[in-house]
Structure formats: C-alpha cells, structure tokens
Amino acid sequence: MQLRKLGATNVSIAPLVLGGNVFGWTADRETSFAILDAFHARGFNAIDTADVYARFIPGLKGGESETLLGEWMKERGNRKDIVLITKGGLEMGKGLKGLGREYLRSACDASLRRLQTDYIDLYMAHRADPSVPIGETLETFDGLLKAGKIRHAGCSNYTADELSAALARADATHAPFEVLQPYYNLIHRNEYEGALESLCRERGLGVITYFSLASGFLTGKYRKPEDLAGKPRGGMISRHLNPSGLKLLDALDRVSARHQATPAQVALAWLMARPGVTAPIASATSVAQLSDILKSVDLTLSRQDLAELEPQ
C-alpha cells in the first residue's frame, strides 16, 4: 500500500482515513477497540475524530470518541504509529465554542487530555467562526504549533471565500492551514468541486473528505423509505432517495459487478481517484464492515467506470 503525502505537510497517510465519529456512539468500547486493532494491523495509520463527537446524540456530552481513542492508544502503546486528527470549535457546553484565542487554547488542551497524548498531528477548526477575526484564530493556531501541542493546522467546512481569506492572512503573518476537510462524495459534489477544489489544488492543501459514503447511502443498502426504519442517520440518507440518487445507485451496481466489488468500495475508490483528494474518511461499526471498506484501496477504476459514475 502506497502512502500519500498530506498536501505540503511532512505527513504521509494511507489512502483511507478511519472515521472516529462512531466510537462511543454506535460502536461501544469493545467494538471500537476491535475496529481500531484491525485497522492498525492492516497498516493504515490515520484516524479522524473531534471533541464534539458524539455530543449530538441524546445522553452523550461530547468527548466520547477522543476518550476511547486515547484509551486505545495508551493500552496498545502505539501513539507514534498513528496520524491523529481532531477538531475543535463547535459547542461543547454553554459558552464553550468558537475559534477565539482563549477557548481554542482550552479546547485543544481538553482534547490532549482525553487523547492522553502531548501532541496532535493535525488539529482543525471544525467550522469557520465569523464572530472571531481570522487573524486571532490563525495566531492561536500558530501559538499551538510553536508550543508543540499540534504539528499541523487545518480547517473543516470552510467555503472557498473563507479559506482564501485565511490563506491570504496567513501568508502575511502566520502559519497557514495546510489541510481541508470538506463534505464531499459521489452524490454530494457542489460544495467542493469548483472554486474550493481549485484553491486547494493551487495552494497544495491536503484534502480529506467526510461523509464519503453519504451517511451510508452509497453502500447501496438503502433504496426505499422503509429501509431507513430505525437507522441513526435515516434523515440524512432520505434526502438522496430520489430519481437521480437511485440512478446513481444503478450505476454503482454496474461498476461494482464489473469489479466484483461492493458499491461502498467503488464510491471510496472514486474519491481516491480524484486528483483533488488526498484520502476519504470512512467509518465502520464492525470489523466486517471495516474489512469491506478497506478493500477499496486495492480497487482501480477505469475511464469507463469513471464516466459511468458521472451524472447522465
């Protein structure tokens, strides 16, 4: 397996990043550890999480994913093998949010404690914060870099205008964002393709995509409303149950059959083939599910395959 350079950073990662959003939510401690063990044993090295995972679930407060990941790294003694990616800035409680100087510093420290490590390989602003001057945010990231608490800085969910403004300000005064994490997949393309993708390629940013399987829609398991009963992300998947979405699933079925692969493997291989993508993030709630998605790394799509997956 050939590693990929993460933009202009000095970090190389496997072509698939493990999403940690399910840890402590739809994957309990035992299952999370089994998934992490299997991922690491296969030679993969990058894991993505965030302080807010899984605060959005009733009964959870946030920090569950980072805590489980920290416990796993400590028990396995493998911190040096892992490219650790986490994010901060979304609300963690009353008054605990944003990209201001004081809060961002404390959020980073809290993540370090939960992760039981003294550095984060890639620390990202989870979302732009228009209430804080970009210079203050960049200065704070710069301070975290100089203190050795983080090794690289990045951002998630930034628009082309927001990222352009951040890069322009960084050019003058501070270390820049080096990686973008956009919402991008085979069916949700308009936010990244165009100005944002062009900017990332022009400036040499690494790009790791989230919702790479469209919350599970691109696995092909959900084709009618009744398939979504009881599913945690049913509402997010349902938006794709329309003629264009079902037509895309038909194309995925044809390409998958040609390669004796699954739709999920093809959808991830499509992202890996995109010149503006370093690696997709994908989550798994079982070792069997992980084994399926990891096979995407060995799948090479032909020009015919790629053309067939384009909107008709």
> Which stretches of 80-224 are DSSP H helices?
101-115, 134-146, 160-173, 195-203
Sequence letter at residue 121 = D
Rounded distance, CA 17 to CA 301, Å?
19
In sequence order, the β-bridge partners of residue 217 are none
List 53, 103, 192, 210, catalytic entry: 53
Q: Taking CA 53 as the corner, what is the angle to CA 98 and CA 238, rounded to the nearest 5 degrees?
A: 105
**Total residues belonging to the chain:** 312
CA 133 to chain centre: 25
Q: Catalytic annotation on 53?
A: yes
Within the chain, strands assigned E span: 4-5, 12-13, 17-19, 46-48, 83-88, 122-125, 153-156, 179-181, 206-209, 279-282
- CB-based contact 262:291 (threshold 8 Å): no
Rounded distance, CA 11 to CA 208, Å?
13
- CB-based contact 179:208 (threshold 8 Å): yes
Rounded distance, CA 33 to CA 58, Å?
23
- CB-based contact 132:163 (threshold 8 Å): no
Contact residues for 15 (Cβ-Cβ < 8 A; gap 6+) = 1, 2, 3, 4, 272, 278, 279, 297
Rounded distance, CA 112 to CA 105, Å?
11
In the structure encoding, which two tokens stand for residue 183, read together?
Answer: 């919402």
- Catalytic sites, residue numbers: 53
